[in-house]
Structure 1
């Protein structure tokens, strides 16, 4: 069964990549994420979580640039994963106007601030780096519509956990999607804060 009810740009890109049908995880998760709910997406490696994250982010932003401040934020464990995910996003955004930016601790904060100021739609960052950007007025959260956390098990580290909690407190209204291989107890704690009323997809 092919992918249903996706933006035409996404469908064309999936076809060019010869991705013709959703995985069982994607079949279950994409409609729920598209509905706007907060979602825990728990599934093993190679189940299609990264592609789901990319597809649903592009779908949420309607594959077009709007304004200057980030509308999608994706938090990852480290610089290596940030750059890897950035490259994967560029595969999907080459033919549309969406602007993707990657930030990490090793890149000077003033450089990041000036580049973000020029206008972006999707920001990929580590929680600690994003918190630093927020504190220094380097990246606004006022227009965020979706915040995704990739391979969220890394939030068991105190610094990352505290950073995401602080970031979430600065966001007025936003959809949250957490991707992980297992439902770690640290992730369950978010149900009492920004993941309230969330749905769970367990594969």
Structure 2
């Protein structure tokens, strides 16, 4: 009887030990995942001139696009931070997303508020370097851009805030846009300031 009693306790100890080990492993991987998410946004390094500022923006991985929602469109800003991406919805931090290496690089999140938009966000990110998704990449690189609008299949209207010097901005854009993206299709950017009829054309390909 004593042997059976000890055997029962040994079985319980093994069972509890297995649960404890599983819990520790889960905590380890959860912490490891969180450590890869280095912050809510990727801070730019100090810049001393306009060219450095533009270059910092081009080096930063940042996307701006609109998500459809029953209550109205939502502006999403997605910024790289470590191996995760910080997501802001309508100006408020909503959480992080990442790609699971063991699940075919599917996007994941721990945030319930992001789950309804996860598929749409992943679709937007997957097309960011195509002509169709180029506006999200363009707006992410240049905060001066308020909005974009496809005028034709080969013409994208780019609206700048009223304080922007359009000539200076246009010069930088012409010099840097090919470092931002390359695709075979022809595209004209019709750049203009908000509430101003004057515009300049920046041609890609």
> Given the two structures, how large is their TM-score scaled by the length of structure 1?
0.25
Greater Rg over alpha carbons, structure: 2
TM-score normalised by L of structure 2: 0.25
User: Whose strand fraction is larger, Structure 1's or Structure 2's?
Assistant: 2
Q: Which has the higher contact order (CA 8 A, sep 6+)?
A: 1
